[in-house]
Amino acid sequence: MQHIQLKQLTITLFTLCVATFSGMKAAEAASFSVVADGLNNARGLSFGPDGALYVTEAGTGGNGACVSSVTGQGSLCYGATGRVLKIQNGQTQTALSGLPSIALADGSNAGGARDIQFDATGKPYILLGYGTNPSFRSSLGDVDLGKIITADFETNSWTTVADISNYELVNNPDGSDLNSNPLGLYIDGDRLLVVDAGANDLLSVEKDGSNLQALTVFPEETLTNPTFPPDGEPSTEPGQVPTPTEEPPSELSVQVVPSSVVKGPDGAYYVSQFTGFPFAEGEAKIFRVGTDGKTTVYADGFTHLTDLEFDSDGNLYALQYANQSAWKGNVNGSLIKITPDGKRKTILSGNGLESPNALTIGGDGAIYISNRSDRPGQGQIIRIDHPQSVPEPTAVAGIVAFSIFSVGSLRHQKRNTNRTKTLPWQLHTSHK
């Protein structure tokens, strides 16, 4: 038996529709409208206390100092091109500018502003991604990549709350290669929760920056009889693709790649999984992390999940960046609803939903999604007003229903030694 390990995750993504691998009928397309267009690597979004929708743009890097991409696809160069946008009354304006960004020369593979959330007082907290070895960061200068910051929109300034990437550098909780890419942020009272896709962990820190610690570490998983891209085809992990003379491994260790975190009606945290190369279809999961740190699988059978959100009725919405293995070259995504009794429905699959990254739910129940999140200058924010959906077959995944939980008080808030750990929106996408 040949056993290959990968830790640096890779992720360039693409799709075909959940229906393809589950054998079900395709979902009816929900209608949506575009509320903002032409964005540069649009990522997380959240409603502020003023009722406006705030969106993070990772930016397009710049002409500053550079660090090596863990995928070996080139250098990621620095520029202060990241922003927070404010969308209100049909108008889009800049709420915060000059945020740090790194990207390839064409503006793809961007690392920068990843997510935004507001606490109970209306104070904004912004998560800045990174996407490579944290020991390289100092070569970029005194930058805030890989950190949580809090911002003052009036003065266009911010202060550091916690350094997530440095935690990986100093502690390396999963014991593998050093890599940090904070992706998802959630505010739970006086505590900030962060998933680091590069480090494969869920972190907690107080809003004053104290007590930064890993709540849980997601160990590598074993993939049986993995399917690889054809030899010679573009791949983010060319060193992991067996040549025609090599026998493919029967088992492969792959990264979990956590991508977002949200609190459920039962008080536990729910974490979405993207999965690592070779991006097996149907292998992504939603994990439940209890208050005691115990981690179990809540739902499985997904492909490349990037975000989760609960509504006020206890329904869980899961955003699927791609419905097929990343290397297949299709970027159709899906929005999937899991009801409290465990039933699964596809709200939208393809039909304009392409490489979506994050979602949030408005006070009127409309769903907002950052769409086309992997391409500079083409990002969108879309709104789904009255989604139609069709049930998924129960065979698609194992689901633990929320029927035992009370939802009455739910409040909506939002290796091989050269393994690669990057995410879809951080990879070169010239072969789309």
CATH architecture group of domain 3-426: 6 Propeller (2.120)
At residue 154, the pLDDT reads 97
Distances (CA, A) of 176 to 147, 171, 416: 21, 11, 10
At residue 245, the pLDDT reads 64
Arithmetic mean of pLDDT, 37-48: 98
Q: Is 423 helix (H, G, I), strand (E, B) or coil?
A: coil
Mean pLDDT of all residues in the chain? 83
At residue 405, the pLDDT reads 33
Selected residue with higher pLDDT from 152 and 247: 152
Helix, strand, coil content of the chain in percent (nearest 5) = 5, 45, 50
Choose the weakest-confidence range: 167-171, 226-230, 239-243: 239-243
Q: Whole-prediction pTM value?
A: 0.84
DSSP 338-387: E-TTS-EEEEEEEEEEES--EEEE-TTS-EEEEESTTSTT-EEEEEESS-
250 band by pLDDT with thresholds 50, 70 and 90? confident
Q: What is the pLDDT of residues 295-351, one digit of tens each?
A: 999 999 999 999 999 999 999 999 999 999 877 878 899 999 999 998 999 999 999
201 with 217: CB under 8 angstroms?
yes
At residue 225, the pLDDT reads 85
pLDDT of residue 129 exceeding 50: yes
Strand intervals (E) in 107-264: 113-118, 124-128, 147-152, 157-163, 182-188, 191-196, 201-206, 213-217, 221-224, 251-254, 258-263
Cα–Cα distance, 288 to 42 (Å, whole number): 27
The region that residue 111 occupies, defined by phi over 0 for left and psi between -120 and 50 for alpha, beta otherwise, is beta
Selected residue with higher pLDDT from 176 and 150: 150
Q: What is the pLDDT of residues 45-61, one digit of tens each?
A: 999 999 999 999 999 99
Q: Where are the domains of the chain?
A: 3-426
